[in-house]
Amino acid sequence: MKTLRNAELGQTVTVVKLHGSGAVKRRIMDMGVTKGTEIFVRKVAPLGDPVEVNIRGYELSLRKEDAEMVEIA
């Protein structure tokens, strides 16, 4: 399974599925990360945390744990 955490810098990916449950999954969905959404990977911090992406016209930073929950294609 390929996740947003493993995405390459400068790559545009599509969300396939969100893993997890409860408040954490709801928070990620509220940020606009939903099935079928395109995400452009802008920056990855030296230790991989956080990952900065462009989604739906705005910039978003996700922690490693949250990025792992986003399955991509």
Cis peptide before 50 (omega within 30 of 0): yes
Range of the domain at 15: 4-72
pLDDT of residue 69: 94
pLDDT of residue 49: 85
pLDDT digits (tens, 9 = 90+) for 27-38: 999 999 999 999
- Residues 45 and 29: their CA atoms lie apart, in Å, by 23
Q: What is the pTM of this model?
A: 0.87
pLDDT digits (tens, 9 = 90+) for 11-23: 999 999 999 889 9
pLDDT of residue 2: 94
Q: What is the CATH number of the domain that holds 47?
A: 2.30.30.90
pLDDT digits (tens, 9 = 90+) for 38-65: 999 999 888 878 999 999 999 999 999 9
- Tally of domains in the chain: 1
